[in-house]
Amino acid sequence: MSFNEVRNLFGKPYYENNNCLIYNIDCIEAMRSIPEPLIDLTVTSPPYNIGKEYEKPLSMEKYVKWSKTWINEVYGITKDEGAFWLNLGYVEVPSQGKAIPLPYLLWDASPFYMMQEVIWHYGAGVASKKSLSPRNEKFLWYVKNQNSYTFNLDDIRDPNVKYPNQKKNGKLKCNPLGKNPTDVWQFPKVTSGSKRSSKERTPHPAQFPQAVIERIIKGSSNKNDLILDPFIGSGTTAVIAMENDRKVIGFELKEEYCEITANRIENYLEEKRVSQLALPLD
């Protein structure tokens, strides 16, 4: 099945262009309709079950069951050398814990092989008076085949090297492109507010910073690969995928978020068109 055949499978998308299809549809229903492995990389952040405006809180038992269901559907449509990056936060478990990391409950929810837990340290955040102030979320990096998977280290090297010109036996000790990023990533959150709003801010209440998704997409997929975000939300995955010459499919249950994504993609494409027109002629 090809990217174009997906359009025939689901019919008219909420939004589309040559490299992007966005559907206003339940992701489980959609993924169950895909008959074969199609996806090279899935990057997503599902509802955390903490009562945000875009989710309906479930009992912890039902939330875990629902999560296992959609994660297994992702596994079924992922190519053999494909990967899955899952962002999860914290949740209160009544009578057991205040801030339980959801990865503790879901890390083994599917046959995926878990490579690593990555800590996203986002700096600023809410303050707490009776516990330590939270400043991180988790990403779980999975692959379908632990012996063969995409990992483009040179595309995501960290140029912030303390001694970039240090040599040993006449040879540079560090790769000229930079060092291997650690499993702790420091990227600021997408902030809101009249005075401190991030440039990339949209009306969506839970938005990824573009830098986080760019590192994942560059590191775990190749140009022309097909990226999936089953909870497309504000559209960050879609914009970054297209910006890096990938194709992308997104599912989103809320029509208002589909509209946010569509507008954001159109704004990105217009900015790209304007910048290309401004380039000097050879």
The count of structural domains within the chain is: 1
pLDDT at 54 over 70: no
Indicate whether 25 pLDDT > 60: yes
Is residue 60 very low, low, confident or very high in pLDDT (cuts 50, 70, 90)?
confident
Share of the chain above pLDDT 70, in %: 90
C-alpha span between 220 and 231 (Å, rounded): 19
282 is a domain residue: no
Q: When comparing pLDDT for 190 and 131, which is higher?
A: 131
In a domain, 222, yes or no: yes
Is position 235 within any domain? yes
Confirm whether 273 is domain-assigned.
Answer: yes
**Closest among 114, 66, 56 to 86, alpha carbons compared:** 114
What per-residue confidence (pLDDT) applies to 129? 87
Please write the tens of the pLDDT for every residue from 93-131: 888 898 889 999 999 999 999 999 999 998 877 788 888
Task: Answer yes or no: is 70 within a domain.
Answer: yes
Q: What is the pLDDT of residue 204?
A: 44
Residue pLDDT, tens place only, 138-188: 999 999 999 999 999 999 999 888 767 777 777 777 888 888 999 999 998
C-beta of residue 16 within 8 angstroms of C-beta of residue 22: yes
Which parts of 98-196 fold into alpha helices (H)?
A: 103-106
Structural domain for 197, as ranges: 3-277
Question: What confidence tier does 280 reach under pLDDT thresholds 50, 70, 90?
Answer: confident
pLDDT recorded at residue 282: 60
Give a yes or no: residue 128 inside a domain: yes
- Percentage, residues of the chain above pLDDT 90: 60
CATH number for 228? 3.40.50.150
- Is residue 71 in a domain? yes
In a domain, residue 140? The reply is yes
Predicted pLDDT at 45: 93
Q: Using 50, 70 and 90 to split pLDDT, how confident is the model at 57?
A: confident
Say whether pLDDT at 197 is over 60.
no
